[in-house]
Amino acid sequence: MRKAIFLDRDGVLNEAIIRNGRPYPPHDISEVKILSGVKEALSLFRAEGFLIAVITNQPDVSRGQVSKASVESINSYLKMNLDIDLIRTCYHDDLENCECRKPKPGLLFQIANDYEINLGLSFMIGDRWRDIEAGIGAGCKTCFIDYQYNERPPTNFDYKALTLLQAAHFILGKKWKI
């Protein structure tokens, strides 16, 4: 079985748009800015044999605030410009109560099944409590990238970092007892 790095998209790979201290996704490709150190972090993960999977909630599609085509063009742009294997997107709002919307771990379980991933050897890295809860629910180790957003932070995680590159150095330098 393989190991994976599961990444949130906005705030982990690309800059989130901050309004009133809260993060929002870019609405189109013109707003996408890949964060500093992301390419290096992904290269470090790749060198260690991790499958690199992006898991993103994009409820603005369900809410009618952005088109699915716009989200898919951003995902395609990131996939073309970064060394990632796949991107899975939940387009649902909380009210739809789907299994794929973080904090539920449904997308992590789907990827684990499709790619023969050992979740106990894998990591979920995100900048919001939903990301961390999804990782915990799937049985992954978790890394919280803390931007001190004006929202509730996760209460339980394995490591807190300021950037994806810092998280990568921690993960790759740490010897986890599995």
Condensed to tens digits (0 to 9), the pLDDT of residues 81-133 reads 999 999 999 999 988 899 999 999 999 999 999 999 999 999 999 999 999 99
pLDDT < 50 stretches in the chain: 177-178
> What residue numbers bound the domain in which 108 lies?
8-168
Looking at residue 175, its pLDDT comes to 55
> 1 lies in a domain?
no
> 42 lies in a domain?
yes
> 16 lies in a domain?
yes
90-108 b/e (C-beta count within 10 Å ≥ 16 → b): bbbeeeeeeebbbbbbbbb
Split into its structural domains, the chain has a count of 1
CA dist., res. 140 & res. 148, Å (int): 23
Q: How far is CA 104 from CA 88, 117, 120, 136, in A?
A: 14, 18, 17, 10
Closest CA to 18 of 160, 117, 149: 149
> 158 lies in a domain?
yes
Active-site residues, by number, are 8, 10
Looking at residue 9, its pLDDT comes to 98
Looking at residue 178, its pLDDT comes to 37
Full-model pTM: 0.95
Q: Which two tokens stand for residue 143?
A: 């890394």
